[in-house]
Structure 1
Amino acid sequence: MLKIEAIFRPERVNAVSNALVEEGVTGFHYQNVTGQGRQAGIEVVTGRGGTTATRSAVSKTLLVTVVEDDKKDAVIEAIVSATRSGEIGDGKIFVSAVSDAIRVRTGESGDSAL
């Protein structure tokens, strides 16, 4: 099993959700997060005079799902296709191993708990 964590632009949530469901992934969580990447923030125009300021914290969405190993490539491609614009700030995807999962209600474990 693999945990896939994706950080991307908030306006792409629906596109990502739809893409995951199309791949058969219906269990995932997402939340609004704030942070900065390599670009160290964004420049924003403040006030009428066109003054600019650098905002180091940028709003993003963090999506987390756990999938069977054989779904990894399809899930990553679905997320990339739904989020890539080619611009700075498109996001990142992290993949890590999960040793076990337990469905609390039934006691199932492993892939069957997903």
Structure 2
Amino acid sequence: MKKVEAIIKPFKLDAVKEAVTSLGVYGMTVTEVKGYGQQKGHTEQYRGAEFVVEFINKIKVEIVVSDAKVSPVVEAIRRTAMSNSIGDGKIFVSPLETAVRIRTGETGDAAL
């Protein structure tokens, strides 16, 4: 099993959800996060005053999948989250030792 974490632009969430669901992956955790990378924030104006926004609003999507589904899920996220502009985000894949479904006690892939 692997854990796929993607940091994406907020307006891309629905497209990513649809793409991943079309692959038969139905569970995901979504968190609103703030951060920066190469984008390094931006300047905004509010009531005539200019200020720097250092941390950009993003969405963190976490999905646990079997090893066989990692590549299709990563490609689906990459394809749908891409806008060809700086700040599109990142995808991280980590090994996951086990998963346990609390209700039934199922473990491993059966718990997904």
Query: What's the TM-score bracket when you normalise by the shorter of the two chains?
Result: over 0.9
- Counterpart of 1:87 in 2: which secondary structure? coil
**Partner amino acid for 1:37?**
G
Q: Which residue of 1 aligns with 2:37?
A: 37
Q: Note the residue ranges of structure 1 that are not aligned, 5 or more in a row.
A: none
Question: After the TM superposition, which segments of 4 or more aligned residues of structure 1 sit over 6 Å from their partners?
Answer: none
Kindly provide the CA deviation profile for residues 51-82 of structure 1, in whole angstroms up to 9, marking residues without a partner as x: 64321011000000100011111001110111
Q: Note the residue ranges of structure 2 that are not aligned, 5 or more in a row.
A: none
Q: TM-score scaled to structure 1, two decimals?
A: 0.92
- Counterpart of 1:71 in 2: which secondary structure? helix
Q: TM-score scaled to structure 2, two decimals?
A: 0.93
How far apart are residue 46 of structure 1 and its match? 3.6
How far apart are residue 11 of structure 1 and its match? 0.6
- Counterpart of 1:32 in 2: which secondary structure? strand
- Counterpart of 2:109 in 1: which secondary structure? helix
CA distance in 2, matches of 1:88, 1:46: 24
> 2:100 matched to 1:85?
no
The 5 Å alignment of 1:1-114 reads 1-48=1-48, 52-114=50-112
CA distance in 1, matches of 2:16, 2:43: 26
How far apart are residue 40 of structure 1 and its match? 1.6
How far apart are residue 37 of structure 1 and its match? 1.3
How many residues align? The count is 112
- Counterpart of 1:16 in 2: which secondary structure? helix
Kindly provide the CA deviation profile for residues 7-45 of structure 1, in whole angstroms up to 9, marking residues without a partner as x: 000011110110010011101110111111122212223
Question: What percent identity do the matched residue pairs reach?
Answer: 41
**Partner amino acid for 1:34?**
K
